[in-house]
Amino acid sequence: MENETIRERYGPWALIAGASEGLGAAFAHAAAARGLNTVLVARRGDALEGVAAEIRAEHEVATRQVVADLSEVDAPLLIATALSDLEIGMLIVNAASEPQGPFLDLPLAKHLFAIDVNCRAPLALAHHFGQEMVARKRGSIVLVTSLGGLCGLPLFSSYGASKAFGWNLGECLWDELKPHDVDALSFVVGSTRTPNLERSGAPETHLRDAVAPQIVAENLFEVLDGGPTQYSQPEVEEAADRLFKISRQEAVGFFSEQNHATFPSKAN
């Protein structure tokens, strides 16, 4: 989509949840490069200010930061209250928690934290800002999901399950909101070289094959109106197509083999 079309079609402000580094920061830069003012949301205020400073230096747009922990029940209300004076035309929910390890070996609190961040918070943010967009009859909601949401994801059980939730929710919003001139999209991302992936213990061979966040972010802005689901790269869509065509046992087995080989220390 053309830059002017994006701002006119959706509105002047983009809110990126999970914007302190990696893919979220790349989404914020891509939005700002297209003339959208940016609201950056994350837990770490110092990291947010760093991203905001980069955006102000590189793009002639306004920025605002909201420090919020999306695992907390009142975080969506805090965000909505802080932004009550702005017209949020685009919501990109990128924040994610990825507990790693066998399901029973991880504390229950880590699984519940992931559900709060990956499911409850996106739903609450989409519900609030979606109502405002419908009232204005323009807007865009992007739920960033993962190829790992397609089937069971051994060693990342609650992450994969929560990404399936987001994938399904985004597709429902696409259908329900399009009569109100609001676009919604589940954006499926494959392996991306983010700081989080680098901290995960993945080997260098895996990191080398991962895609740069900037490429993923740029590709999002080419498909905003192409819901219900779009993929970050053709290779990710091709992988999804292959997984859809095999049995569930084979699909889960594929991810199990891949994850145990890539993250052996997490399997023990």
- Among 72, 176, 64, residue whose Cα is nearest residue 121: 72
- Among 86, 76, 85, 83, residue whose Cα is nearest residue 122: 76
Tell me whether residue 131 is exposed, middle or buried, using C-beta atoms within 10 angstroms of its C-beta: 0 to 12, 13 to 18, 19 or more: exposed
- Judge contact between 188 and 229, C-beta under 8 A: yes
- Judge contact between 106 and 99, C-beta under 8 A: yes
Q: Which residues are catalytic?
A: 159
Calculate the CA 147 to chain-centre distance.
12
How far apart CA 4 and CA 10 sit, in angstroms, is 10
Residue 41: both structure tokens together? 């949301």
The secondary structure of 13-26 as a DSSP string is EEEEES-SSHHHHH
Rounded to 5 degrees, φ, ψ at 187 are: -110, 110
Helix (H, G, I), strand (E, B) or coil at 164: helix
Starting at the edge strand found earlier in the chain, the sheet holding 182-189 runs: 63-67, 37-42, 13-17, 88-93, 139-146, 182-189, 229-231
Q: Which amino acid is at 227?
A: G
How far apart CA 24 and CA 41 sit, in angstroms, is 9
